[in-house]
Structure 1
Amino acid sequence: MNRFALLSLYRSLTRHRLYSVLNIGGLAVGIAVFLVLGLYVRFETSFERWLPNHQQIYLVQTDWIGIDSPFVGTWPNTMGGLIEQMKGDYPGLVGTRIEGGEGGGSVTHGGIATLEDIAQVDADFFKIFDLPMVSGDKARALADPSAAVLSQSIAHKYFGDVDPIGQTLTITIDKPMTYRVTGVFKDLPKNTDLRFGILTRIPVVNPEDWWFHWGSTSVTTFLRFPTPAAAKAFEQKLPGFVDHHGFKDLGAHASRKIALPLLPFTQEHLKPAGQASASLELTVVTLGLVGLLTLLIAIVNYVNLTTARAGLRAREVAMRKVLGADRGTLLRQFMGEAVLTAALATLVGLIIAELSLPFVNAAGGLSLSIPYAQALPALVGLALVIGALAGIYPALLLARFPAAQVLASARAPGGGRAGTRTREMLVVLQFSLAIAFIVGTLVVVAQMRHVRSTDLGFRREGLLVVSSLNYGDLDTGRQTALIDAFRQLPGVIAVATADSSAGGFGNNNMNNVDIDGKPKPGPSLRKIVIGSDFFRVYRPRLLAGRLFDDAHRMDDANTPKTSEPRNIVINRTAALKLGFPSPQQAVGKTVWSSGTRTIIGVVDDLRFFSPRLPSDPTYYVAYRGLAPYPVATLRFSGDPRSILAAVRAVWLRMAPQAPLIANTGEHELAKFYEDDDHAAHLFAIGAGLAVLIGCVGLWGLASFNTQRRVKEIGIRKTLGASSADIVRLLVGQFLRPVLIANLIAWPLAFFAMRTWLAGFDDRIALSPLFFIGASVLAIGIAVLTVLGQSLRASRATPAWAMRHE
């Protein structure tokens, strides 16, 4: 492009400043949204790719199939002894296990225990996970069972500037032990799901222990293969391996109940764990599409405004042709202008993206940043692509104007009916996507409000969950003393223990419950073991029968064995699962699960887990006093911070050797909503800006077309049209494509939102009000967008309008 062409571009931009700002601004906002959401997609898809030889690492999953259990689905854990059995059958196999991780243990320093991310691994860990080391011999770092390998930050936390190699730490996982530091690795990056700052060895376990029980899921197991073909060949051998080793626990044809699929390590982050998690893969794809579609809206906006303004440059094109420019020269000039305009918009978009990242990170719970070393070449390519896509049609339109016809005409060509139809089609496309985005935003916001306010079967306010009673060497006596001390605190109404609590803490035990006269095994129900006052703390609705009390000896599972059946309470879903038509008909019935049980009561469901999970059929077994493997829950009144401070003071006084893990029930339940909340915020930001770009384009188009019709408006007013008639005419013209856009937007939004809502067990109905509301909102925005231009045009006096060109 020569200097005359650059001068032409400069004059074009400065002569019509408003349209230039709208053109470049709309494109810049679209590019900014595309950049920010592109950074999000890049971050989420980069997990584990920092690790050397990451493509050779595979996660062994447990896939429950052909069983009646809420655990049906694919899970990222296996039984503890799986790798020993695999290495016994397949010598030379390279693999490791990871047990624990986030909050996996504590370090006692200065007499105070501090919770740390501690993982227990095998001696071969560094053969699979080649972590960058700061000091120590990676090959021998975990050879000694008493060795510990620390991250840089943990090493600095406990040893400061002193060389940590050879130093000792008191680490508590099951019990306090002294470990010697043998290595230090670099802190793990943010784009990893590995959560540990301290590595120790997995202890040797008796083969008869539950660790080797098929059906338990206590560790994550990783294998390393040189090629994908080798991994595939090994995976094909696993059904026979499962049948051979799983026979004792799962019976004949164990591979029909459980499978062990291999998942590439780099894909683990995007895959859901069973039914409990949102599919991050779907979220990433959705937000990536939002970014692409927003950019598409911006490009359409650019094309629309540029083609609308094409007539203003018709005489310029004609004069260039008269002076010798051929069609190819003009085409190159206008394509060059489009690329330069896109480059300018890309620069502005980059500035907007950089300025908005702090707010986006806050809204999405992220830590995104622009890697300029990689971003700048990509941005140059992006500007070229956008310029080419956005500029090709306007360039072709401008280059084909016939010189003689243009110069002989009294007015510049406007593209005729074909040009008008093309611009209307582009407006339809813009607003189809915008309306679909509005529908999506309304549905997402409504669903997240619903899951936060839905009835969980208990009041989430006024709960404090203490989940660290099983840490350290706290015996039953000290656990009981702590519970008694909590009960004496001001504001505490009741304290209960159980092996499960709000937020999903504790055990996940499922048992088959057999019913006389029905096929065995019976349905699988979740078993929750509770202590005294559990129902007083959670206060579920009693639907039939009674709750546990001290007056009935067989309510206590600790009662010495007799021929009498132990009593249980079941929830509403369990009653239906067991085949009872109503809660009342379940009371008094006898079932079998690890002994004979009598149902004494039916309560409403208590939803302790993710809103994406269906409510589990559950039965409760009671222990007077303290439940085994207890998680404590306090029901309190007053300020949560005061209660938490009081609990912390009691804990430091009575159990300083164990870390305190305590938080409100609301805080723990909120963790289930975090990922969806963050995705919803990003979606709403992208959707809102997409709608804004569409409105900016519509405003510019309305302004331009209204100016072109000033003389027509003057003639209409001379012939008797009122200002209201003119406004209706102009507004109606621009509303037509917006109304047509609903025919495209509604089906698109319906299928997209139905797919997203399917991930929630407890979900709102996809009401027509969302679609009608989005359409009304879009129409309202469109009317307000063009109304100002229409009113201004309608107020022009006929005499002035007739003289205007």
Structure 2
Amino acid sequence: MFRNYFKIAWRNLLKNKFYATISIIGLTIGFTVGVLILIWIQDELSYDNFIEDSGQIYRVNINGKMGDNTFYAGYTPPPAGAALVDNFPEVESYTRIYRPNAGVIESKTAEGQHLFNETDIYAVDPNFLELLTYPLAKGDPKTCLQSANSIVITPQIAKKYFGNTDPMGQILYYGKDKQPLKVTGLLKDLTNLPATVKFDMLMPVQNFGDVTYFNWSWVWLNMATYVKLTSQTTEDPKTLTNLESKFPDMLKTQAASAFERIGQPYKQFLKNGNYWNIHLQPLTDIHLHSGEIVSAISDQGDIQNIYIFGLIAFSIIVLACVNFTNLATAQASRRSKEIGIRKVLGSPRSQLIKQFLTEAFLYTIISAVFAVLLVALILPLFNSLSGKTIPFHSIFSNGIWLILLGLTLLTAFLAGIYPAFYLTSFKPVNILKNSITSKKNGLLRNGLVVFQFVIAIVLVISTIIVFTQLRYTQQRDLGYDKENILVINNGEKLDAGVESFREEIAAIPQVEDATSSTGIFTKGSFGDFYVPQTTETDNMVAKDISLGSYLVDDHFISTLNLKIEQGREFDARFNDSLSVIINEAAAKQIGWENPIGQKIRYPGGNMEYYTVIGVVKDFNLESLHSSILPFALFSKSSQSYDTGVSFITLKYKTDNPKELIATIEKEWKNYQQDVPFEYSFLDDDLNAAYKTDLQQASLFGIFTALSIFVACLGLFGLVAFTAQQRTKEIGIRKILGARVTEIIKLLSMDFLRLVILAMLVASPIAWLAMNQWLQDFAYRINIPWWAFLVAGIAALGIALITVSFQAIKAAIANPVKSLRTE
């Protein structure tokens, strides 16, 4: 029987090639988008699942408040892991990650010397690969990081430094001291591995003096700590909650001496309204559920993106189903006699329903096959746009193919269920008398057309607003110059020669000015807390303030064209070693109306007081996702702290920056032969901060275009069918003198009214959705009214073009042929 169903379904498909093609194209696009988004979602949801016992592993986060500033970070002080293991039997073990500054790695092989500056070197505890089970191709995870002179590398690094030679046992030389490191482990390729933390090299953390020096500190937050809990603890949520409730008491004991050492008694710190709390976050939640948790080593996404793109995939599949349903019900009158005769000959309704569901299944199975082939073709482009490296074979793994099969069956059912029941509901006597009414059918089709365009218009409005916000982020005044700014990395590798090098390049005719600093915009900053000095006449209570800061020279403000609002900038004619320039946000948070001459004390270092000599206009350090926070510029001569990092930034005036860069590189090699010359343009660095937003906007735009195409595809088929149904009417009207424009208006207006109705429904939906999306930006646009007007005009224009094509074709047809049409 089913074989017969398929034969009839195939014959009907061949008989109605035009409508079948429209349906299959729509379903193919729907499936293609669905599969692409499905494998993207699957990849997002699978982060860190490869790690053994991942359900027992947690990252230790810290949530703190200093003065009016709060933060939540995926970092901990160095002693946090050991303290948790020592104080709580629920914590089995811990491991830590420290990200040092970029370092030079060198190899010496028969082919010659290979020397590169590496940024993805992580320092870890010896048990790192035991607790976080990244796959090793060679080596023992229990021993490969035990020795201080060991290193574990990826296949890409092995190829880079040793070619096709087996890297195990080979020697790499690290840093300016050329510390020899023996390759004791080779990782498997991590490129396609869904991991929140990825790296090129692993070294024992004992090589880095910063970590051992600050092992006493509970305020030096530069390590990521992971703990493994007992299985009993993770099985019972109450036990986990009870464990976290004990942490504050532990901190009162453990952190007290560290806070006392920096002149900030912990009890007084808490009494002032501050807090310093640690929390546990499940390893598998880090990627999608980190929200405002800051981390420079973790690949942190957003669960909202899963919902957004999942909804888009669902919407486009529904659009394709709506097309199929619309076209199937539109052709009801064509197949009514077939149904009537079958019923008269004794076919039960259930048999007819099975027949039409079989036809829907045939359409969907053909579309699914085409979709898989299309996915294979466009997956590289999709990966490029989404920033992923998803392999094609992932479709046939992890249950994706079962989901695809289920999606195919579900789509067949959803697309075919109404036509099946509708077409089989006609009474034979009415069919054979041609007395079938189609009013209800027409209302359904109109409702589905409105539904299609509501989805399409919502996506169009959303796309316009997304790109408008991104353009705003790129054009907004950030408080400094970003054009024609060149940033040179690794200034710290020049040691004492950094100032001489800065002077050399500043003297190049194409260079307007050059500066040396410990930080530059988009590349992080040093953060710590400070205490404003108060006097008896200040009428204010001293409270801690958290400040991000750079150590800069006296050319920093002029090079970046920062605006001094009060006071002066650093000047070589003065001794500014105990001077500080703060931004407006810092002055406002402290409550200083006249900050010049006021002092702040730095609890670190030697408890020095720094006098405010200037207030700079607020500027954005990072992307506009983040608000402007209190910030300070200290003179490099203060040496109040050491980040071990230095950047040389210059402003140039030339139409040929390549020539300038070549000149600077030549000068660099005169100062440092063993460190590769690396640079970037500040505007490119800023654009990179919006890389994820731009990727998502591009995908959003593509999916929006596809949704419009699918909606118009269905509209095209409906207009073609309507024109065909009204062929004789059109012929008679033309004979009676109707003009072509009147015929076009006759066939178009009903559909354009539906698009207008869809626009009215879609506008408030889009406004609510995009208002929520914009909440992620600290600096955002007001939703523009013209976005709705543009979307509406675009939808009407596209619909009009779609309708007009068939309407014109029908209007210019020979009326004699129209009247002969049966």
Would you say same fold, with TM above 0.5? yes
**Is residue 151 of structure 1 aligned with residue 168 of structure 2?**
no
The counterpart of 1:80, out of the listed 78, 82, 100, is: 78
**Structure-1 residue corresponding to 2:583:** 571
The counterpart of 2:793, out of the listed 776, 788, 799, is: 776
Map 1:607-618 → 2, pairs under 5 A: 607-618=620-631
Amino acid at match of 1:543: E
**Is residue 341 of structure 1 aligned with residue 341 of structure 2?**
no
CA contact (8 A) 2:99 2:122 kept: yes
Amino acid at match of 2:396: A
Measured in 2, the distance between the counterparts of 1:293 and 1:66 equals 46
Shift of 1:423: 0.8
**Structure-2 residue corresponding to 1:251:** 266
**Shift in CA distance, 796/149, structure 1 to aligned 2, threshold 3 Å:** closer
CA contact (8 A) 2:554 2:569 kept: no
**Structure-1 residue corresponding to 2:225:** 221
Secondary structure of 2:186's aligned partner? strand
CA contact (8 A) 2:191 2:389 kept: no
**Structure-2 residue corresponding to 1:368:** 390
Unpaired stretches in structure 1, ≥5 consecutive residues: 558-565
Amino acid at match of 1:59: R
Map 1:706-785 → 2, pairs under 5 A: 706-714=723-731, 723-785=740-802
CA contact (8 A) 1:531 1:626 kept: no
Shift of 1:52: 2.8
**Shift in CA distance, 568/376, structure 1 to aligned 2, threshold 3 Å:** closer
Measured in 1, the distance between the counterparts of 2:135 and 2:2 equals 53
Amino acid at match of 2:94: G
Measured in 1, the distance between the counterparts of 2:512 and 2:629 equals 28
**Structure-1 residue corresponding to 2:416:** 391
Measured in 2, the distance between the counterparts of 1:308 and 1:359 equals 37
**Structure-1 residue corresponding to 2:721:** 704
CA contact (8 A) 1:500 1:631 kept: yes
Secondary structure of 1:527's aligned partner? strand
Shift of 1:164: 3.9
Map 1:107-186 → 2, pairs under 5 A: 107-110=105-108, 113-116=115-118, 117-172=120-175, 176-186=178-188
CA contact (8 A) 2:360 2:413 kept: yes
Shift of 1:279: 5.2
Amino acid at match of 2:221: T
Shift of 1:162: 4.5
The counterpart of 2:541, out of the listed 519, 525, 533, is: 519
Measured in 1, the distance between the counterparts of 2:700 and 2:211 equals 50
**Structure-1 residue corresponding to 2:196:** 193
Amino acid at match of 2:583: N
**Structure-1 residue corresponding to 2:808:** 791
Shift of 1:798: 6.3
Shift of 1:184: 2.4
Secondary structure of 1:74's aligned partner? strand
Measured in 2, the distance between the counterparts of 1:419 and 1:769 equals 36
Amino acid at match of 2:457: I
Measured in 2, the distance between the counterparts of 1:337 and 1:81 equals 67
CA RMSD of aligned residues (A): 2.9
**Shift in CA distance, 7/625, structure 1 to aligned 2, threshold 3 Å:** same
**Structure-2 residue corresponding to 1:12:** 12
**Structure-2 residue corresponding to 1:95:** 94
Measured in 2, the distance between the counterparts of 1:73 and 1:603 equals 24
Moved more, 681-690 or 523-532: 523-532
**Structure-1 residue corresponding to 2:244:** 235
The C-alpha deviation readout for 1:32-68, integer Å capped at 9, x for no partner, is: 1111122221222222222333232211111225752
Amino acid at match of 1:297: L
Amino acid at match of 1:152: P
**Structure-2 residue corresponding to 1:483:** 502
CA contact (8 A) 2:458 2:765 kept: yes
The C-alpha deviation readout for 1:182-203, integer Å capped at 9, x for no partner, is: 3323232432232323222112
CA contact (8 A) 1:104 1:119 kept: no
CA contact (8 A) 2:525 2:550 kept: no
Moved more, 213-222 or 727-736: 727-736
Secondary structure of 2:782's aligned partner? coil
Measured in 2, the distance between the counterparts of 1:618 and 1:500 equals 12
CA contact (8 A) 1:123 1:142 kept: yes
Shift of 1:406: 1.0
Moved more, 353-362 or 272-281: 272-281
The C-alpha deviation readout for 1:589-629, integer Å capped at 9, x for no partner, is: 52433355544433322323122111222232224699964
Measured in 2, the distance between the counterparts of 1:185 and 1:676 equals 31
CA contact (8 A) 1:225 1:231 kept: no
**Structure-1 residue corresponding to 2:326:** 304
Map 1:674-693 → 2, pairs under 5 A: 674-693=691-710
**Is residue 636 of structure 1 aligned with residue 652 of structure 2?**
yes
Matched residue count: 781
Amino acid at match of 1:307: T
**Is residue 588 of structure 1 aligned with residue 567 of structure 2?**
no
Shift of 1:432: 0.7
**Structure-2 residue corresponding to 1:267:** 285
**Shift in CA distance, 361/490, structure 1 to aligned 2, threshold 3 Å:** farther
Shift of 1:425: 1.0
CA contact (8 A) 1:514 1:522 kept: no
Measured in 2, the distance between the counterparts of 1:588 and 1:458 equals 22
Map 1:45-56 → 2, pairs under 5 A: 45-56=45-56
**Structure-2 residue corresponding to 1:426:** 448
Shift of 1:437: 0.2
CA contact (8 A) 1:276 1:613 kept: no
So what's the TM-score if we normalise by structure 1?
0.90
Moved more, 55-64 or 422-431: 55-64
CA contact (8 A) 1:169 1:178 kept: yes
Moved more, 760-769 or 729-738: 729-738
**Shift in CA distance, 587/78, structure 1 to aligned 2, threshold 3 Å:** closer
Secondary structure of 2:491's aligned partner? coil
CA contact (8 A) 2:155 2:186 kept: yes
CA contact (8 A) 2:114 2:161 kept: no
So what's the TM-score if we normalise by structure 2?
0.88
Secondary structure of 1:93's aligned partner? strand
Amino acid at match of 1:395: A
Map 1:430-445 → 2, pairs under 5 A: 430-445=452-467
**Shift in CA distance, 720/165, structure 1 to aligned 2, threshold 3 Å:** closer
Measured in 1, the distance between the counterparts of 2:97 and 2:709 equals 48
**Structure-1 residue corresponding to 2:484:** 462
Shift of 1:377: 4.0
**Structure-2 residue corresponding to 1:561:** none
**Shift in CA distance, 153/621, structure 1 to aligned 2, threshold 3 Å:** closer
The C-alpha deviation readout for 1:262-302, integer Å capped at 9, x for no partner, is: 12212212244637798522223212221111111111111
Moved more, 540-549 or 747-756: 540-549
Shift of 1:134: 2.7
**Shift in CA distance, 11/164, structure 1 to aligned 2, threshold 3 Å:** closer
CA contact (8 A) 2:74 2:294 kept: no
CA contact (8 A) 1:108 1:657 kept: no
Moved more, 390-399 or 740-749: 740-749
Measured in 2, the distance between the counterparts of 1:538 and 1:615 equals 17
**Structure-2 residue corresponding to 1:212:** 216
Secondary structure of 2:246's aligned partner? helix
**Shift in CA distance, 86/312, structure 1 to aligned 2, threshold 3 Å:** same
**Shift in CA distance, 424/19, structure 1 to aligned 2, threshold 3 Å:** same
**Shift in CA distance, 8/181, structure 1 to aligned 2, threshold 3 Å:** closer
**Structure-1 residue corresponding to 2:605:** none
**Structure-1 residue corresponding to 2:262:** none
Amino acid at match of 2:227: L
CA contact (8 A) 1:586 1:599 kept: no
- Percent of residue pairs identical: 28
Secondary structure of 2:63's aligned partner? strand
Measured in 2, the distance between the counterparts of 1:272 and 1:726 equals 59
Shift of 1:175: 5.2
Amino acid at match of 2:266: G
